[in-house]
Amino acid sequence: MKPYIFIYAMTAFLYGAETISTVEDRQCSHVAIYNSDRGMIYERRHVQLSPGNTRIRYEDVATQIIPQTVSVHSDPVITVREQNYDVANIRRQRLLSHYVGKDVSLRLEDGTEKTATLLSADGDPIFKIDEEVHIGHPGTVLLPQLPPHFSAVPKLTWDVETRQEGQHALDVRYLTRGMSWTADYVLTIAPDETTAHLTGWATVQNNSGISFDTTKISLIAGDVHTVQDHSSRHRGAPMGAQASPPSGDREMSRESLGDMHRYTLPFPTTLRNDQQKQLRLIHVDSLPVTQSYQITAPQFYTARNTHINDLPVKNILRFTTKEEHRIKEPLPGGTLRIYKEMESGLSIFSGENRLPHTPKNHEVSLRTGTAFDVTAQFRQTEYERVSNRRAESTYELLLRNEKDSPVSVDIIVPLSGEWTLFDAPDYTRLSAHRVKFTLSVQPSEEKTLTYGVRERVR
C-alpha cells in the first residue's frame, strides 16, 4: 500500500463519521465589505454531531476565500483537531491525468462506444484502441466516475472531537477577495447657487463566488494595509475588525473602528454573487455651498520671460461637513457628481471630482471645471538681477469677467527659497511657499493684479 493511501485509511478510521454542512444550515450571517477588494464573512450554522471523532465538511463558502484567515468557534464540548481547505479542482486535464493507464470509454459520432486505454493526458490525449495508438480522437471521452477528492466547489473540513451529542453552533469567519464598495455622491445646486441637495450611495460589488440571503451588511471606510503576496491566489492577511450583529436602528448607523469607520445597514438584505447593489448612505437638503474661482500663477522668479500666458480659471465648489449643515457623519471617499438645477426644473451635469475621506467639521474644496466667461492673462513685466545672489521681478495678472454677476477669484502664487513680496496688495499666507490674493470683479469689468517678488538666487 502506498504511503498516501495508508495515511488516508488511518484518517478515515479515526474520523469515520462525516457531517456535511451546507448553506441550508446557515442561521445568520454578516458581511463586512472593504474598499480594497476584501470582504469579511461571518456566519453561524447549526450542525448535528455525535460523541467521538467527526469530520465536518463545510460547503458553500466563497470561491475567492483566503483560507489562512479562517477561524471557527463552537461550544466548549467540541475540540477542533485539524482544518483543511479543498479548492474547486475539477479541470479537464486534471481529470484525464487521474485516468492515465486506465480504461475509459470513447463515444463516437454515430453514438457507439469503444473502450480505450488512456496513455497520456498532455495536450491532445493519446489513446490505445485495440493494438492502435491514436493521438487525439473525434469522439467524446466518458469517465466511469468522479475520482475521490475531486470537488466541483471549494469547501472547508474540520476534524473535531465531540464530547456531547446534539445540535451545535459553528461560528465561522474568513476573508475573501472579490468584494468591494465605492461611495458615489450626487450634489444638485439650487438655482440661487447658495444651497444644494446632497445624496450619497454606496455601490457594493459581490464577485466572491457566493450569495447571501437576508444578511446584515457593514461597509468599512478607510485604508487597510494588506500584505501583497503573489505566490498564491489564496494568500492574504487577517483584518482586526470582527463582524458582529448590528443594532436594530432603521437609519444607517456608523461607529469608529480606530482610524476606520463602519457603516451598518439597519435591516437584512440579499446580496447575490455577481451582483452590484446600491445602498443609500446620506441625504441632506439645503446644504449651504459657495462657488468661487481659482488661478495658480506660474513661477518665473530667476529668469526673464516675455511670454503672455493665458491661465485656466478653475471653478471651485466648497461646503462644510458640519452638524448644523445636517451632515452628522464623516463622508467616505468617493466620486462627487455635481448638477446645476435650472429655473425650469431641469438639472444639467456640470462636473465631477474625487471626494477624499472627509471627517466631520471639515471644509470640502473641489474643482468642478474651468470657467467660460472669466479669463486671465499673466505676464512678467520686469526682471532684474540686482546681485549675484538676488533677483527681482514684477508681474501683472489681468482678469476679465463677462458674466452677468460679480465673481470672486483667488490667485494662488507659489514661491520658493527665501522670498519677499513688494509693491503688492494684501495677501493671505497659506504656507511657507504659497500666498493667496483675492480679487472681486464686477460684470463686464477688467481688473489687474500687480506684485513684485524679491528672491535669493543660489
Q: Return phi, psi of residue 324, to 5°.
A: -70, -15
Q: Of 142, 162, 184, which closes a domain?
A: 142
Q: Answer whether 17's CB lies under 8 Å from 159's CB.
A: no
Q: What is the mean pLDDT of residues 415-424?
A: 89
- On the question of pLDDT at 5 being above 50, the answer is no
Q: Does the residue 297 lie in any domain?
A: yes
pLDDT number for residue 424: 94
Q: Does the residue 49 lie in any domain?
A: yes
Same domain, yes or no: 79 and 164: yes
Tens of pLDDT, residues 235-282: 333 333 333 333 334 456 666 666 778 888 888 999 999 999 999 888
- On the question of pLDDT at 4 being above 80, the answer is no
Number of domains in the chain: 3
Q: Does the residue 188 lie in any domain?
A: no
pTM: 0.70
CA torsion angle 336 341 346 351 (round to 10): -30
- On the question of pLDDT at 13 being above 50, the answer is no
Same domain, yes or no: 135 and 9: no
Q: Which three cell numbers stand for residue 302?
A: 530667476
Tens of pLDDT, residues 63-83: 899 989 999 999 899 999 998
pLDDT number for residue 305: 80
Same domain, yes or no: 158 and 307: no
Q: Does the residue 233 lie in any domain?
A: no
Same domain, yes or no: 57 and 96: no
pLDDT number for residue 88: 61
Q: How confident is the model at residue 229 (pLDDT cuts 50, 70, 90)?
A: low
Q: Does the residue 191 lie in any domain?
A: no
Instruction: Please report the sign of the dihedral spanned by the C-alpha atoms of residue 320, residue 322, residue 325, residue 330.
Output: positive
Q: Does the residue 283 lie in any domain?
A: no
Q: Identify the CATH number of the domain in which residue 131 sits.
A: 2.30.30
Q: Answer whether 32's CB lies under 8 Å from 71's CB.
A: no
Q: What is the mean pLDDT of residues 206-211?
A: 94
Same domain, yes or no: 156 and 12: yes
Q: Answer whether 204's CB lies under 8 Å from 252's CB.
A: no
pLDDT number for residue 301: 61
Same domain, yes or no: 155 and 71: yes
Tens of pLDDT, residues 440-453: 999 999 999 999 99
Q: Answer whether 412's CB lies under 8 Å from 297's CB.
A: yes
Tens of pLDDT, residues 28-63: 999 999 988 999 999 999 999 999 999 999 999 998
Same domain, yes or no: 309 and 404: yes
Same domain, yes or no: 132 and 76: no
Q: Does the residue 162 lie in any domain?
A: yes
Q: What is the mean pLDDT of residues 195-215?
A: 93
Q: Which three cell numbers stand for residue 355?
A: 471626494
Same domain, yes or no: 160 and 126: no
Q: Identify the CATH number of the domain in which residue 425 sits.
A: 2.60.40
Averaged pLDDT score across all residues of the chain: 84
Name the residue range of residue 129's domain.
Answer: 92-142
Same domain, yes or no: 378 and 437: yes
pLDDT number for residue 219: 93
Q: Which three cell numbers stand for residue 330?
A: 464623516
Q: Does the residue 329 lie in any domain?
A: no
Q: Answer whether 297's CB lies under 8 Å from 414's CB.
A: yes
Same domain, yes or no: 23 and 70: yes
pLDDT number for residue 250: 46
Task: Output the DSSP codes for 202-247.
Answer: EEEEE-SS--EEEEEEEEEES-------TT-TT-----S----PPP
Residues in the chain, total:
458
Same domain, yes or no: 103 and 171: no
